[in-house]
């Protein structure tokens, strides 16, 4: 087997993935939270105010990363869905279902911050333009995938159904992205994706790029946390889970033993 | 890749392709309804509905805004840089409303061809910059007037 392919294949093995999540978790958590603090403090406090919107524009540092991630998480889920449907990879099933609520949370965050900004700037909390409507549909798709998975008793079947729904829903992602270009919308066109002529001043852009990276790492962080739990729940009878549970029980007993020794002295 | 997996991958591809084609056809059919607003030129050409509310979008023309002294009534022109139309509105305008700003108004045309708006929304553009930068950017054309 080709070594690169072999490297990929080992990530489909549950007892290979679990210890690597354990090792990586503190590092990802540290990096994500420090970048988030740096980006948000820079953006919310030190970045200059906008010439039109004043301080109200600062919601961009939460809104844009959340909206970006709402689509990125979905694309990641699409990759997982293909792995599930074509290669029947169980780790991908678990990662898919672990991602759905995270994506839903980012979508809700984008919709909520957008509404807060829309009221003073546009003059309306909500309008039914193509961008806002397609983003709302994305929220319903996320919730639908999650509900479908939990409605089916057999988890292998449930994952297959959820993967199919993910693939059907992926058509919404380009619609969200291009809605502001294809149709007249109240929502403004993208500022970031045309990097050759940036529409956003560098002093404001840097903290935004940092919060974007921080949100991506936050997704990874939450995915690792949720995937870890899903792995333990999916393989309760396997030797490696038994060993982990044994170790946890030992760790619980050990301190009390020490304490009783102290008391005896 | 084994034949079974290749077949599954093809099925996945067909599924995505089929759903995309269906979505494209739906949006083709609803093209007009997907537009949040009409441009002023489209309104002037008579493309907008006459008997019901619709939205029109455009840039507020410089020096066209006049406010009534005894009420909240405002009259201004908006344009898509080709055809201007006159808009009449009574109420509180959003923060971003000013001359040169893109807006979207909802309402109907009256017999005189004036757009009577029941709602005015400001459309923000994709540009973000500090006030000092905006000042240096906007000065040269202002000096040229």
pTM: 0.86
Asked if residue A41 is part of any domain, the answer here is yes
Asked if residue A8 is part of any domain, the answer here is no
Cβ–Cβ below 8 Å for A52 and B124:
yes
The span from the first CA to the last CA of chain B, in angstroms, equals 69
CB-based contact, A130 to chain B, within 8 Å: yes
Nearest to A220 by CA among A56, A51, A16, A26: A26
When pLDDT is cut at 50, 70 and 90, the band that residue A194 belongs to is low
Q: Give residue A265's domain range.
A: 239-265
Distance between B20 CA and the closest CA of chain A, angstroms: 6
Domains of chain B, residue spans = 3-32, 36-123
The distance of Cα B112 from the centroid of its chain, to the nearest Å, equals 23
Q: Please count the structural domains in chain A.
A: 2
- pLDDT at A199 > cutoff 90: no
Residues of A in contact with B125 (CB under 8 A): 188-189, 199
Of A80-94, A139-153, A191-205, B76-90, which gets the smallest average pLDDT? A191-205
Asked if the B36-123 domain carries CATH number 3.40.50.620, the reply is no
The distance of Cα A225 from the centroid of its chain, to the nearest Å, equals 11
Asked if residue A4 is part of any domain, the answer here is no
Asked if residue A140 is part of any domain, the answer here is yes
* C-alpha span between B44 and A46 (Å, rounded): 47
| Same domain, yes or no: A143 and A254 | no
* A34-70 pLDDT, tens digit each: 999 999 999 999 888 888 788 888 999 999 999 999 9
> pLDDT exceeding 90 applies to what percent of chain A?
65
CB B56 within 8 A of CB B85: yes
- pLDDT at B140 > cutoff 50: no
Cβ–Cβ below 8 Å for A168 and B19:
yes
* C-alpha span between A216 and A211 (Å, rounded): 9
Q: What is the ipTM of this complex?
A: 0.77
Per-chain mean pLDDT for chain A: 89
Question: Which run of H or of E encompasses B32?
Answer: helix B31-34
Average pLDDT over residues A98-125: 93
Asked if residue A66 is part of any domain, the answer here is yes
Find the radius of gyration of the CA atoms of chain A.
22
When pLDDT is cut at 50, 70 and 90, the band that residue A193 belongs to is low
| Same domain, yes or no: A222 and A246 | no
CB A106 within 8 A of CB A70: yes
| Same domain, yes or no: A166 and A65 | yes
Q: What is the pLDDT of residue B144?
A: 34
Smallest CA–CA distance from A167 into chain B, residue: B16
* C-alpha span between A53 and B125 (Å, rounded): 11
Residues of B in contact with A128 (CB under 8 A): 36
Asked if residue A118 is part of any domain, the answer here is yes
Per-chain mean pLDDT for chain B: 83
Residues of B in contact with A189 (CB under 8 A): 125-126
Cβ–Cβ below 8 Å for A183 and B121:
no
Name the 3-class secondary structure at B73: strand
| Same domain, yes or no: A159 and A257 | no
**A6: exposed, middle or buried (C-beta count within 10 Å: 0-12, 13-18, 19+)?**
exposed
Q: Indicate the DSSP class of residue A12.
A: G
- pLDDT at A94 > cutoff 70: yes
Q: Which residue has the higher pLDDT, B121 or A52?
A: B121
* C-alpha span between B57 and B18 (Å, rounded): 35
């Amino acid at each position: 087997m080709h070594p690169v392919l072999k490297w990929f294949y080992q990530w489909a093995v549950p007892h290979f993935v679990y210890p690597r999540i354990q090792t990586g978790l503190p590092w990802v958590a540290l990096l994500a939270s420090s970048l988030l603090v740096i980006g948000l403090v820079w953006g919310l406090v030190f970045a200059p105010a906008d010439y039109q919107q004043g301080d109200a524009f600062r919601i961009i540092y939460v809104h844009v990363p959340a909206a970006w991630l709402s689509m990125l998480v979905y694309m990641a889920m699409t990759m997982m869905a293909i792995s599930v449907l074509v290669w029947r990879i169980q780790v991908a099933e678990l990662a898919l279902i672990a991602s759905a609520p995270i994506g839903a949370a980012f979508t809700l965050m984008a919709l909520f911050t957008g509404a807060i900004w829309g009221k003073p700037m546009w003059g309306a909390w909500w309008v039914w333009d193509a961008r806002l409507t397609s983003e709302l549909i994305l929220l319903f798709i996320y919730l639908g995938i999650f509900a479908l998975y939990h409605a089916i008793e057999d988890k292998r079947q449930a994952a297959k159904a959820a993967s199919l729904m993910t693939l059907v829903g992926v058509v919404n992602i380009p619609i969200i992205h291009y809605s502001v270009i294809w149709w007249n919308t109240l929502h403004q066109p993208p500022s970031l994706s045309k990097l050759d002529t940036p529409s956003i001043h560098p002093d404001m852009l840097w903290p935004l790029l940092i919060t974007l990276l921080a949100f991506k790492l936050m997704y990874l962080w939450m995915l690792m946390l949720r995937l870890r739990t899903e792995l333990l729940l999916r393989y309760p009878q396997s030797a490696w889970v038994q060993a982990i549970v044994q170790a946890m029980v030992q760790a619980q007993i050990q301190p009390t033993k020490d304490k009783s020794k102290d008391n005896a002295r | 890749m084994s034949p079974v997996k290749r077949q599954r991958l093809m099925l996945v591809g067909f599924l995505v392709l089929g759903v995309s084609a269906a979505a494209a056809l739906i949006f083709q059919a609803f093209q007009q309804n997907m537009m949040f607003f009409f441009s002023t030129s489209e309104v002037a050409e008579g493309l907008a509905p006459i008997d019901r509310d619709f939205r029109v979008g455009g840039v507020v023309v410089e020096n066209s805004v006049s406010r009534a002294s005894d009420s909240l009534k405002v009259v201004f022109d908006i344009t898509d840089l080709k055809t201007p139309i006159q808009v009449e509105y009574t109420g509180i305008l959003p923060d971003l409303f000013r001359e040169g700003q893109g807006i979207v108004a909802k309402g109907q045309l009256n017999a005189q061809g004036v757009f009577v708006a029941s709602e005015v929304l400001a459309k923000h553009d994709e540009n973000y910059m500090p006030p000092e930068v905006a000042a240096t950017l906007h000065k040269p054309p202002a000096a040229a007037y």
